[in-house]
Each structure stands twice: as C-alpha cells, then as structure tokens.
Structure 1
Amino acid sequence: MYGSLTRRDEQLRKHLTLSDRKSIEKCLSQGVSFAEIGRRLEVAPCSVSREVRRHLVQWEKGGWGRCMNDCVHRKSCFQYDLCGASPACSKKCSICPRCNSVCPEFEAEECSRLLKPPYVCNGCRERRGCTLKKRLYQARNAEDEYTRVLHEARRGFNLCSEELKAIDEFFSKGILQGQSVSHIIASQRNRAPCSESTARRLIHAGAIAVRNLDMIRVCKMKPRRGEKRGVKVDTKCREGRTYEDFQEFRFRHPDAAVVEVDSVIGKRGGKVLLTMMLRNCNFMLAFLRNGNTAASVEYWFSWLFSQLGEVLYRRMFQVLLADNGMEFSDPRALEFDPEDERRSWVFYCHPGAPYQKRKVENNHGLLRRVCPKGTSFDGLTQKDVDLMMSHVNSYGREIFNGVSPAQLFVSMYGTAALRLIGQRIIPPEEITLRPSLIFRN
C-alpha cells in the first residue's frame, strides 16, 4: 500500500506519531515483520527499520530469577569466590551479579539474532530466561528522544563554522573601529555575508568575537525581553553520539580514556571557563574564554593537541563526554585534527542529566570555593586559572586514600605533561581554596 502513496501523502507521513510508535512496539512483540508493519502504517519498511535501530534501548537485566551474565563461558564455568567478598561464599560465580566485572577470563557474548531484523528482543520467545544484554524498542522512549532531537535541531542559528568565521571577519574589524553594523553593510553591500538583523542577533548571542559592549548605542538601549538564543553549529550533532552510543562504545573499548567537559559561567555576558575532567585520575583542566562559543572550545582543544603532541593527546583525550550546550555543537572540529585524522570521539549526555558526567560536576564544587557563583571572570588571566587548578588538583582525595589527582596524573603521563599544560604540584601545607588565591582586590 505504501507504494501507491501520492507525493503529498508521503510528505504528511514524513514523521511518525506516538500512535505509530505504539503500533510498532506492539507488532514487534507479536513477531510481525518490518514489511507487514510498513503496510499497516502505510510507510516504507526501511522507515520502520531505521526507526527501530535509531531508538532501540540497551537493557542490562537478566532472565526470570537469574542475574545478567553475558560471558561466553557462563554455562561451563565452575569458578567460586572470584571477588573474595566472603571466604565462606558457596555461590558459583556464574550466577553472581559481580561475575562479569571481576572475572579475568570474562569475554562478552552478543546474541546473533540482534544482528539481523528486527534487531530487538521485543518478540523473542527466549527473552524471559535469557541472561544476555537485551535491546528493546519502547514507543514512549522513542517519542521522547525524537521530540528532544527535533527541538534541539530547531534552536539557535543554522550556520556552519565557515559561515560564522566569514561573518566574524566581515563585521568585527569595523565594529572595533567604532562603526555600526548598518554602516558596514551599506559600504560593502555586495560583499555582506548576511543581513543586518542576522548580524545583530549573532553579536547578541556571543557567536562572534565582538559583543554588545563594543557597540556604544546598543549599550545604552534597554534589553528586550525574551530568551537569549544560542548558536548551534551542527543542528544534527547528537545523531550517532547519544549517551546510549557512548555506553556501547565503552562496552567495546572499556580501557578508553574518558574526559568529561563542561562550562562554568561567571557573570552573564562575561568570560567563561571551559573545564575538562580526566575520569581515570580525577584531574581537571580549566581554560578561560571570552565567550561561550563553539569556536572558543575548538581553540583550546587545538592548543592542547599542539602542546601535548599527537601521541600523548590521543592517550589522554580518546573520548569526550559533553552536555548539550551550544558551545559543544561542533563535534567534528574536536574529533579530527588539521590533517582530517580522527583524534577523539565525542558523545553527549541526555538533556537535564548532569549525573551522567558527575565527576566534572562534583569537582566544580572545589572550583567554586575559589570562584563563588556570580563572580566575574573578566579580570582573570589564564595564568590565574592555571594557578587555581594547580591548587585544586593538588588537593588530596579520600577516594584515592589521600593521594591527589596531580600525583596520579604525573604517575600516568609524566611530569613533562603537567608542565606542558601550565600546572604544577602544590605542597599540601600551601594549598589555598579561597577567593584570595586569585582575586586580589
């Protein structure tokens, strides 16, 4: 039936509804094929296939009365007390929920049925007794994820990094010389890369180098009501980089070094900090930026790549986990070096889920002891920020039995790497986590 649809019908069926997704979930649980589901919904089978693969959910639960165990040796394993939890433990390790995390011979098994349609376990008859990781299609989860991506794609300005750079070069020089946006466009109308209203919105959003403070008349105007619009460089940046994709990548590469990245805001419209937390040693880096833009984030990652060198950078920054802020919306600039060779993988947390990168969020508490909320960063330099982070990273952690992140960092990457990023180890008796460390007024 879907082959007889008119062009207008196809356009109307471009997006599936919640009712369609519930029908897909019900049909999958009944073992209905993609072709039959497509006929019932009047869409192409490939659309159903893409919908299921795009929104499937990893389900780490075992079978009925049995814990999850996806080791290939689970049926022939006779190991006992691998974790050493109790000398009197008589439980076989293969039926213990800690087995996969402590066994040195663990080798993951993936169900071969998930490699072919329908790619999910919804209609599998052996699902109740299966102890492997499962994949499910859930209509409500698929609808929520679809809505979230749709809203994010429609926010901000749909401009690529090259277009933003061209607009920046065209307007910034004249504005810094005291010229107005309208004067710049009127004098070079044939070369203007955008309209006057677009240029003003970009300046107001902090997308280019100049700000409202650089325009005298704008400073005197009363600000309009309404939410400040951010600039998303790539509106589809989250596709293939969701938190589920991150978990799957971590499952395939458990030893990959993960770095959680975030932004710390001072006063609105002022300078911003970019923070990076190395999960393997709780070591945090911070860099000062004039605005909360994607270009400023790209600059500091490029600086680190040039400072540390290709080999060391790839060891430290294999995986980047960020939130959905506009400043992280240009993943390709972070994933590839100037020679277009991959150097990192970028993934995004769910919106409103800071706990998914809890280490960097928790460590901001130490940073806020020096820079309380509402403090302006405009009077700081990068040297001040490096000093602050040296004190923060030299502070001993209870989780490491009093050893500091800076000491762990040196043991993993060497003293030279610490010096290259502008930090040093502070003696314990000299550590200061008060505003007086960098604010001298």
Structure 2
Amino acid sequence: KKIASHINHDCTTVSSEIRNHLTVVDDMWPTNRKHNRCVHYVDCKKRHVCNFCQSIKNNLCKYCDQVTCSKSCPDYKEKVCDRLSKAPYVCNGCDSTRRCPLQKKFYDAKEAQLDYERTLSDSRSGVMITDDELTELDNLISPLIKNGQSIYHITINNSDQINWSSKTLYTYINKGLLQAKPIDMP
C-alpha cells in the first residue's frame, strides 16, 4: 500500500505487477544443507523411501539429504510460506530469507522493466504469424479478394478458418505479405 500511494497507483495494480513478474528461487541453501520442505516433516516416521535411505539402517527419511527422497514420498506435500499467499507475495524485505529453507519468490524491478521493454518491442516488431500459417491464409483469402470479396465479408464467412482480425489482414496485404495487393481490394 505504501508503494502504491507513493507512485500514485492503485494497490491492486502494484500487486498484479509483482505477481506477474516474480522470480522463483528454488534453493538458496549450499548443496551440503539440503532441507526437507514437507508439511509433515515434524511428525513423519517414514523410512526407506529412496534407495539412498535403504542403505542407511534405522534412519528416518526426513533426515535424508537426498532431495529425491522427499520428492518420491507419496505423502510429500511441499510447505509454502504464508507470506507468499498474501500481499506482497514475495520474500523481498523478509528478515528470514537467509535462513528460510522454503522456496522463495522475489520481485526484481530491473528484470521486470526489461521484460516490459521486450514485450513492447515484440508487439511492435511486425508480423506475428508463421510461414505455414501465412501460406494457408494467403491460399484462402487472396483468390477471394481477387474475385471481388471484401476483407470484412471474407472474415465473417470464414471465421472458422481465419483467426486474425480484418485490420490485421489489411496490414498483411498492405505490407505485401499476400498475393492479393491493395489494388485488388473492392
């Protein structure tokens, strides 16, 4: 809420931005400190779930340092931090981040900005159609245009085969991507 009021935006907008640009960090622990994240960890009495545990006598699986052990248990359910299920939905600013063994989610503003710029660039970079789709579309609409049918009429009558708007089809024709040319249109 503080961030939202500071930047003069609604808090749902900020919340949505954060949730849409999370970075998941699965394991920050050193490799020699694997931790079992199961919700049943405290009360679990299972033994010999994985091959590694079977080689150790009388050892509980919850103490096994093999990640596959907990993942192969049929009763395994990963514990999720309560902080991630409500705003701010991230571990940014949490005092327990370094010692917490659970999966973490972070919001990186720089990465979110780069993602936004890539999306903006991609949306303005031209045609979003494969060569095969373009050929199929061309084979369908170019003969109809040359026979005097309008783009609007073609899209209405062939809506089951054409997944693009009339405006997009006009753009493709004006860019010279189809056999039909602007002069062929009625």
- TM-score bracket, normalised by the shorter chain, equals 0.5 to 0.7
Correspondence list, 1:144-155, <5 A: 144-155=114-125
**Does the 8 A contact of 2:49 with 2:72 survive in 1?**
yes
The partner residue of 1:74 within 37, 41, 54 is: 41
Q: Which of the pair has the greater relative contact order for Cα pairs under 8 Å at 6+ separation?
A: 2
TM-score normalised to structure 1 length = 0.30
The partner residue of 2:173 within 174, 199, 203 is: 199
Distance 2:121 2:28 in 1: 35
Letter in 2 for 1:82: V
Which residue of 1 is the match for residue 184 of structure 2? Answer: none
- What does the per-residue CA deviation read over 1:300-350, in whole Å, with 9 as the maximum and x for residues that have no partner? xxxxxxxxxxxxxxxxxxxxxxxxxxxxxxxxxxxxxxxxxxxxxxxxxxx
The partner residue of 1:98 within 62, 68, 73 is: 68
Distance 2:55 2:170 in 1: 77
Letter in 2 for 1:93: C
- What does the per-residue CA deviation read over 1:336-367, in whole Å, with 9 as the maximum and x for residues that have no partner? xxxxxxxxxxxxxxxxxxxxxxxxxxxxxxxx
**Does the 8 A contact of 2:47 with 2:53 survive in 1?**
no
- What does the per-residue CA deviation read over 1:173-223, in whole Å, with 9 as the maximum and x for residues that have no partner? 354x7xxxxxx58xx69979669774253x62xxxxxx54x99xxxxxxxx
Distance 1:104 1:117 in 2: 31
Aligned with 2:51: secondary structure?
coil
Shift of 1:117: 1.0
The partner residue of 2:144 within 165, 173, 184 is: 173
**Does the 8 A contact of 1:61 with 1:68 survive in 2?**
no
Which residue of 2 is the match for residue 368 of structure 1? Answer: none
Correspondence list, 1:288-299, <5 A: none
- What does the per-residue CA deviation read over 1:13-46, in whole Å, with 9 as the maximum and x for residues that have no partner? xxxxxxxxxxxxxxxxxxxxxx222343344333
Gaps of 5+ in 2: 155-165, 182-186
Number of residue pairs matched? 160
Shift of 1:151: 2.2
Distance 2:29 2:152 in 1: 68
Shift of 1:142: 1.7
Letter in 2 for 1:44: D
Change in Cα spacing, 1:174 to 1:83, as seen in structure 2 (3 Å) is same
Is structure 2 residue 89 aligned with structure 1 residue 119? yes
Which residue of 1 is the match for residue 52 of structure 2? Answer: 85
Shift of 1:72: 0.9
Distance 1:190 1:72 in 2: 58
Aligned with 1:143: secondary structure?
helix
Which residue of 2 is the match for residue 316 of structure 1? Answer: none
TM-score normalised to structure 2 length = 0.62
Shift of 1:120: 0.8
**Does the 8 A contact of 1:68 with 1:133 survive in 2?**
no
> Once the two structures are aligned, what percentage of the paired residues are identical?
26
Shift of 1:169: 5.9
Distance 1:53 1:197 in 2: 34
**Does the 8 A contact of 2:48 with 2:60 survive in 1?**
yes
Change in Cα spacing, 1:127 to 1:63, as seen in structure 2 (3 Å) is farther
**Does the 8 A contact of 1:62 with 1:132 survive in 2?**
no
CA RMSD of aligned residues (A): 4.1
Change in Cα spacing, 1:129 to 1:99, as seen in structure 2 (3 Å) is farther
Letter in 2 for 1:76: D
**Structure possessing the higher radius of gyration over alpha carbons:** 2
